[in-house]
Structure 1
Amino acid sequence: MFRYTLMRLGILAGCLVVVWGLVYSGIAPRGLGDSNGMWIVMLALLISAPISFVVLRKERDRASMRIVERVDRMKTNLEANRNQEDAVADEASRAQSQTS
């Protein structure tokens, strides 16, 4: 997941540099008034989102598989702990009923 995040930030940084260059060279329009910095960031986000969606598909699928495996493992461990607690409780109730 960390690798995917770094790759996504890298694409955003690359788009930010490209948009900044386009705005300051006059190819892309400048923002209104003092909003030029915000305009550059928003335009870079808008461009980087679909690029990340397409380019990082395999990495996103790998990260998703790791998360699913981790959740399944935690569910299995939780169920094993529940079964162990039930067995201990059943054994304690049997021992108590035999002594009575």
Structure 2
Amino acid sequence: MLRYTLMRLGIFAGSFLALWGLVWLGVLPRGLGDSNLLWVLLLAVVVSAPLSFVLLRKERDAMSAGIVAKVDRAKVRLEANRSAEDAA
């Protein structure tokens, strides 16, 4: 889970830096007044979300498979504890 989160943050940071460069070069419009940083942050969120969805699909699937396996093991342990209590 930590790896996936760090990869998402990396994609966000890359998007932010790329968009900041485009704003600095004048390719993208600057925000209104002093809102330039907020403008670039919001735009980076909008750009990085679909990129993360596509680029991190394998990581997300692996993470969810790991979570499902942990939940299944917990269910088995819980059922074993219940049956041990019933037998006693």
TM-score greater than 0.5 by the shorter chain: yes
Specify the TM-score bucket, using the shorter chain as the normaliser. over 0.9
Which secondary structure state, in structure 2, belongs to the residue aligned with residue 64 of structure 1? helix
Q: Which amino acid aligns with 1:45?
A: V
Report the counterpart of residue 96 of structure 1 in structure 2: none
Question: Per-residue deviation at 1:24?
Answer: 1.0
Structure 1 segments unaligned to the other structure (5+ residues):
89-100
C-alpha RMSD over aligned residues = 0.6
4+ aligned runs moved over 6 Å, structure 1:
none
1:26 and 1:48 mapped to 2: Cα distance? 21
TM (norm. structure 1) is 0.86
2:37 and 2:2 mapped to 1: Cα distance? 28
Which secondary structure state, in structure 2, belongs to the residue aligned with residue 70 of structure 1? helix
Which secondary structure state, in structure 2, belongs to the residue aligned with residue 27 of structure 1? coil
Report the counterpart of residue 64 of structure 2 in structure 1: 64
2:67 and 2:32 mapped to 1: Cα distance? 43
Max Rg structure? 1
**Per chain length, whose mean CA-contact separation is higher, i.e. which structure has more relative contact order (CA < 8 Å, sep 6+)?**
2
Q: Percent identity?
A: 62
2:84 and 2:42 mapped to 1: Cα distance? 53
How many residues align structurally? 88
TM (norm. structure 2) is 0.97
